[in-house]
Amino acid sequence: MTKLPLCFMLLACSLFVVTPLASAQPPTRSGYDVSWFDEFDSSSLNTSLWTAANTNVTTNNSLQDYLPEQVSVTGGNLTITSENVASRGLPHKSGLVTSTALQKHGRWDVRAKLPTSKGMWPAIWLLADAPWPSQGEIDIMENRGDQPNLTSSAFHYGTNPPFEHNFRYAEQTAVHDGADADYHDSFHTYSVEWDPNQIRFYVDDVHHWSLRDSDVGGFLTNDVGDMRLIINTAVGGDFLDNPDASTVWSQKLEVDYVHAYTKSSTGPILSFENGGFEEQGGSLAQWSKFGDAINNVSSGNERIELGDEALKLFGQFNGETNYSGIEQGISVKAGDELLASADAFIASIDSITGSGNQVELKIDYYSELYGQFGSSDYISTDSIVLADGGSLNDSWLNRQLSSFAPANAVEARLAIVFTQQGNAGGAVYIDNASFSVVAVPEPSSSVLFLLTGIVVGVRRKRKSTN
Ligand SMILES: [Ca+2]
Ligand SMILES: [Ca+2]
């Protein structure tokens, strides 16, 4: 979102009549404790949790006067309304809320439906109480009103004084059943997990980007501050085109809930989920996507082995050898035996036969949870080919990979990787993936008795030979 004069937002807070919150159950998430949450079940903004901005001081050349009257809570949602009505020297009215809670590290989930049409700039972000950008800014989600199918995430950092601004960002799209996800016409969940040394960004529980301390010169460990959550719709400004005659007024940013967590003392234990790609109505939830440059990593119903959904992979068509796919980690310890399995299907009408393209099933081991491939956290890889140019077409093919976790391993990450050679064509569908530590059966009492008997027998034998 970039900078905003927080002093104005805090000093100019509105006084709403607070009605008691409905007794919503706190959310739960494995490995995390709830720090605060708002289901927006009341009839007004809970001012113990939120401050509504009241300022016509703009940043980024945006065109809105932020007014508390543009923020409402009704029907289970927080609603920020943007209008084509001049106010205090600016052409539009809109709204912005800031959490009263300051927090460093944890997880935030925000389920929201974004405003549409040219000039709308909805944002869900975290900002430190410090001269911008000296303690950082985490943009969980930003969108442009004329781009319904694309959201972005960013990290802003630098010094002040002297003023220096740097940033990193990533864009994401998603395809399901051949159609682009539309972030304007339905609710989607935007999340961030902020650890001391990295920040992970999610849309609908699909991990699409990690920012690491090494990407920002150690800023995450050395400079970043406690942050407040901000939700707003800016109108126009440097990030996008200003509204014009095509813009439809008024517009609403609706937020169903905000869930904020701190990491529990034990932290998360990673477990494998959504191997059939059915979760969350058929998304890649729980998986990390990589190399999805042209929506070449998607879920859908074209070819299915089980359930309603499968994964579809093809290349990025950038003329070079490129890698695309998904990955998901589980917690392990050294010596664990792991078994990975997945089924692949190549349709003869869009085959990779003879092309040099292939899909591999890999297990990458790391000495740190969420470690980086190729860094000192990365230990080793085991892999098999799931499908290649010599594979049978028009049949589901099962492949299994057995592996043992090496010394120092804490995470084993299953990766399904499509390698495209040049612009070679063809797609591969994947379904029914599984990944787990093979259970070592506890010896039953009869087995124990038998073992004891053998040992005793061996000892007796030895004695008898003396
Ligand atoms: Ca709600
Ligand atoms: Ca399936």
CATH code, 142: 2.60.120.200
Domain match, 239 and 292 both: no
Q: Which ligand is nearest to the CA of 79?
A: 1
The sign of the dihedral angle between the CA atoms of 50, 51, 57, 63 is positive
Compute, in angstroms, the gap from residue 254 CA to the centroid of ligand 1. 9
Cα 20 to the chain's mean position, in Å? Answer: 33
Compute, in angstroms, the gap from residue 39 CA to the centroid of ligand 1. 4
- Judged against a pLDDT cut of 50, whether residue 97 lies above it is answered with yes
Compute, in angstroms, the gap from residue 267 CA to the centroid of ligand 2. 30
Q: Which ligand is nearest to the CA of 303?
A: 2
Nearest to 195 by CA among 35, 371, 363: 371
Tokens, residue 269: 């234990």
- Look at residue 445 and tell me if it is in a domain: no
- Judged against a pLDDT cut of 80, whether residue 31 lies above it is answered with yes
Q: Which ligand is nearest to the CA of 187?
A: 1
Which pLDDT score is estimated for 452?
42
The Cα 268–Cα 85 span in angstroms is 48
Compute, in angstroms, the gap from residue 310 CA to the centroid of ligand 2. 5
Which pLDDT score is estimated for 1?
63
Compute, in angstroms, the gap from residue 289 CA to the centroid of ligand 2. 17
| Banded model confidence at residue 280, pLDDT cuts 50, 70, 90 | confident
Compute, in angstroms, the gap from residue 18 CA to the centroid of ligand 1. 17
Q: Which ligand is nearest to the CA of 39?
A: 1
Which CATH number characterizes residue 357's domain?
A: 2.60.120.260
| Banded model confidence at residue 267, pLDDT cuts 50, 70, 90 | confident
Compute, in angstroms, the gap from residue 180 CA to the centroid of ligand 2. 20
Domain match, 284 and 188 both: no
Compute, in angstroms, the gap from residue 67 CA to the centroid of ligand 1. 22
Compute, in angstroms, the gap from residue 334 CA to the centroid of ligand 2. 31
Its domain, for residue 122, covers: 6-263
| Preceding omega of 406 cis (within 30 degrees of 0) | no
Nearest to 65 by CA among 53, 73, 78: 53
Domain match, 79 and 138 both: yes
Q: How large is the average pLDDT for residues 170-190? A: 95
Compute, in angstroms, the gap from residue 186 CA to the centroid of ligand 1. 14
Which pLDDT score is estimated for 109?
98
| Banded model confidence at residue 177, pLDDT cuts 50, 70, 90 | confident
- Look at residue 304 and tell me if it is in a domain: yes
Q: How large is the average pLDDT for residues 322-327? A: 98
- Judged against a pLDDT cut of 70, whether residue 421 lies above it is answered with yes
Domain match, 379 and 318 both: yes
Q: Which ligand is nearest to the CA of 282?
A: 2
Q: What is the mean pLDDT of the chain?
A: 91
pLDDT digits (tens, 9 = 90+) for 49-84: 999 999 999 999 999 999 999 999 999 999 999 999
| Banded model confidence at residue 394, pLDDT cuts 50, 70, 90 | very high
DSSP assignment of 380-426 equals EEEEEEEEETTSPSSSEEEEEEEEEPPTT--EEEEEEEEEE-TT---
Compute, in angstroms, the gap from residue 269 CA to the centroid of ligand 2. 25
Residue at 224: amino acid letter: V
Compute, in angstroms, the gap from residue 278 CA to the centroid of ligand 2. 6
Nearest to 437 by CA among 269, 271, 279: 271
Contact 385, 337 (CB under 8 A): no
- Look at residue 372 and tell me if it is in a domain: yes
Q: Which ligand is nearest to the CA of 279?
A: 2
Compute, in angstroms, the gap from residue 424 CA to the centroid of ligand 2. 26
Q: Which residues surround ligand 1, an ion (CB under 5 A)?
A: 39-40, 76, 256-257
pTM over 0.95: no
- Judged against a pLDDT cut of 80, whether residue 17 lies above it is answered with no
Domain match, 244 and 284 both: no
The Cα 19–Cα 291 span in angstroms is 48
Q: Which of 263, 289, 308 is the last residue of a domain?
A: 263
Q: How large is the average pLDDT for residues 267-272? A: 94
Contact 24, 39 (CB under 8 A): yes
Domain match, 324 and 184 both: no
Count of residues making up the chain: 466
Compute, in angstroms, the gap from residue 188 CA to the centroid of ligand 2. 22
Compute, in angstroms, the gap from residue 430 CA to the centroid of ligand 2. 8
Q: Which ligand is nearest to the CA of 258?
A: 1
Contact 219, 239 (CB under 8 A): no
Number of domains in the chain: 2
- Judged against a pLDDT cut of 80, whether residue 7 lies above it is answered with no
